[in-house]
Structure 1
């Protein structure tokens, strides 16, 4: 994942650094109640202000890993203020404060689990935000479940989205998507940062997708030192595969009204979650017929040919990236060699696989890419 961090840091600020800053700043939608900062303007610039009268140096670090950022200037009243050098990409971004060398969250902003810690979050309004907006439509539910995990000697947590109407008809059974988070995140990411529930509610209300259940659980089982994404090179998928396939899926099927055949079960994930998805589904095509890799690698013709049953059993192989990821050379799986995902998607399509490739415009390794990817992926699932 080192390449992912480098790419994100290089692309978190968009073009247009020389333009004049428009003074129409408003509080971010992710601020703590009543807090006026951080703020964003119509161009996508972000402005930060904190009070730290005894501090000597204050910086805002944006993006996965927290490197780079904006140095704040101190005023006579002890407040520190600064504006990003350029506009940020539309959508959600993690950030934190560095005050005299120490790492802190912004007291004005809500916190989100990412970068292996709770980080502050800021939302740059997107032109296409309507598809994940909170609307007056029927809403599904997100339930927390605790399922037994004998393999890890504990109970583990998952969040389960059930679509609108799930509780009204006790006879209806639903397909299931197992949806994984990225490196340094947890099972809260897809609902908190990704708005997966609102995306689904809006798609279902518009008749854009078949209603289905989404299950989100923590994807780490082995001990990798926080802050060392390079540790993924030593990641062993087998313990998590046991948790997902042998423990979580049976629990979900026993406690929710699911359709349990592989044609009604999908797995997808963003970044590291896509890496996990590819590894797990390759050896479990008797359980998953729909597969999605969101900034998490690609399916090559070699992958298809060396995976028994891929052409016959996989009903959809979906791959997506942000345009800035492709421009910056992020193409292969985490820790793997570069590969051309667009060419791979075309090659396996020619070989008879239902292959779909999507590129999110003007975004990098970030949640706006993955929100858009889910919007594209969901309508393609479970088409009987």
Structure 2
């Protein structure tokens, strides 16, 4: 362990020593990171007592939490943690408002997540099995003190691997997430790609019931996510489990089921992204439900459509229904028109950065 007063003092005495160094009205950062024996965390920042040229040492405490405080009168500060005042944390600068106490979970390696596959996940709700492709973000192995929001993304075989993707065109979701995290445009997230069940896709991704295509399994699929997939993910990975940290994402019928499940289960899914959604389903019945809703559902929503045969009119009608319901563009609603884009995997891959950064912006995670 680093040399620390915690090694020689009792808990109450150590706490008193730590608090004696904190200004009465203080802004505080707590850096959660295990640097290993003999190393330390320093902080560089934009305003005195910090500077960008030389780091200020943080104080180590139990749980490998490094704490640094300064007077509120300094105002908002931009900063970055470093290891031994040499290795800078990845991503953007952190913004620390005056008077706040902010927990940081940095990493110092390369911004490259990894994939882990979970085969043959059985659904008692649907009577079939499928694979989960789980993207673990760059810091997952490096900083075991950190927990992460989770995105449950449909049509999982299309997201990460061209060999399994429809038409051989993948979304490059892992590469996109890596780049956004490295640039500091989004927070780290776990992405669970839930494979579709091929012949059962239309049934599972749709509410009841379109005159031409039938369907009607959307609620059973939602229960599969809620009662089978999410408990497994929460038990086996370091997740943040609340609705504010749990999102759905999909395109086409996957957008439709994302919207359906998010609206019907806001206590589980607090965010959703519906790309090029099939809101035409069953005479736009889902849109009509929103238009008739007496109360706003507390879900953060991303909607988009392209201008090239991509259901833009139906998506715009859904946007209007959400606005009438109380959603506000730029706050809990992001509506985007993709000029020239059609209904293709390549088009969704090209704008994937928009829902990811909207739903999980840098420093937007509630720990």
How far apart in 2 are the matches of 1:223 and 1:155?
11
CA RMSD of aligned residues (A): 3.2
Q: Answer whether contact 2:116 2:135 (CA < 8 A) is retained.
A: yes
Within-5 A mapping of 1:210-229: 210-220=187-197, 223=200
**Residues 330 and 151 of structure 1: CA distance in aligned 2, closer, same or farther (over 3 Å):** same
**For residues 177-199 of structure 1, what are the alpha-carbon distances to aligned partners after superposition, in whole Å with 9 as ceiling and x for unaligned?**
11112xxxxx2101131000000
How far apart in 1 are the matches of 2:294 and 2:184?
35
Deviation at 1:348, TM superposition (A): 4.7
Q: Answer whether contact 2:157 2:196 (CA < 8 A) is retained.
A: no
Q: Answer whether contact 1:222 1:236 (CA < 8 A) is retained.
A: no
User: Does residue 140 in structure 1 map to residue 113 in structure 2?
Assistant: yes
Q: Answer whether contact 1:300 1:347 (CA < 8 A) is retained.
A: no
**Residues 292 and 307 of structure 1: CA distance in aligned 2, closer, same or farther (over 3 Å):** farther
Name the residue aligned to 2:347: 369
Name the residue aligned to 2:222: 241
**Residues 304 and 255 of structure 1: CA distance in aligned 2, closer, same or farther (over 3 Å):** farther
User: Does residue 167 in structure 1 map to residue 141 in structure 2?
Assistant: yes
Name the residue aligned to 2:338: 360
User: TM-score under structure 1 normalisation?
Assistant: 0.53
| Runs of 5+ unmatched residues, structure 2 | 1-108, 162-169, 280-285
| Runs of 5+ unmatched residues, structure 1 | 1-135, 182-186, 334-338
Aligned residues: 232
**For residues 315-364 of structure 1, what are the alpha-carbon distances to aligned partners after superposition, in whole Å with 9 as ceiling and x for unaligned?**
x21101112135xx55437xxxxx63554465456668711111222210
**Relative contact order (alpha carbons < 8 A, sep ≥ 6): 1 or 2 greater?**
1
- SS of structure 1 residue aligned to 2:214: helix
Within-5 A mapping of 1:83-122: none
**For residues 201-232 of structure 1, what are the alpha-carbon distances to aligned partners after superposition, in whole Å with 9 as ceiling and x for unaligned?**
00001001000011111234874799xx9864
How far apart in 2 are the matches of 1:354 and 1:301?
20
Deviation at 1:154, TM superposition (A): 5.4
Q: For structure 1, which segment, 161-170 or 254-263, has the greater mean C-alpha deviation from structure 2 after superposition?
A: 161-170
Name the residue aligned to 1:268: 249
Q: Answer whether contact 2:293 2:325 (CA < 8 A) is retained.
A: no
User: Does residue 332 in structure 1 map to residue 332 in structure 2?
Assistant: no
How far apart in 1 are the matches of 2:313 and 2:271?
21
Name the residue aligned to 2:157: 188
Q: For structure 1, which segment, 143-152 or 271-280, has the greater mean C-alpha deviation from structure 2 after superposition?
A: 143-152
How far apart in 2 are the matches of 1:280 and 1:171?
31
Name the residue aligned to 2:132: 158
- SS of structure 2 residue aligned to 1:165: coil
Which residue of 276, 280, 290 maps to 1:303?
Answer: 290
- SS of structure 1 residue aligned to 2:159: helix
- SS of structure 2 residue aligned to 1:282: helix
User: Does residue 320 in structure 1 map to residue 304 in structure 2?
Assistant: yes
User: TM-score under structure 2 normalisation?
Assistant: 0.56
How far apart in 2 are the matches of 1:307 and 1:251?
35
**Residues 342 and 265 of structure 1: CA distance in aligned 2, closer, same or farther (over 3 Å):** closer
Name the residue aligned to 1:250: 231
Q: Answer whether contact 2:248 2:273 (CA < 8 A) is retained.
A: yes
Q: Answer whether contact 2:255 2:274 (CA < 8 A) is retained.
A: yes
Q: Answer whether contact 2:125 2:221 (CA < 8 A) is retained.
A: no
Deviation at 1:290, TM superposition (A): 0.6
Within-5 A mapping of 1:284-295: 284-295=265-276
- SS of structure 2 residue aligned to 1:324: coil
Deviation at 1:301, TM superposition (A): 8.4
Deviation at 1:307, TM superposition (A): 7.4
How far apart in 1 are the matches of 2:325 and 2:296?
14
How far apart in 2 are the matches of 1:232 and 1:171?
48
- SS of structure 2 residue aligned to 1:234: coil
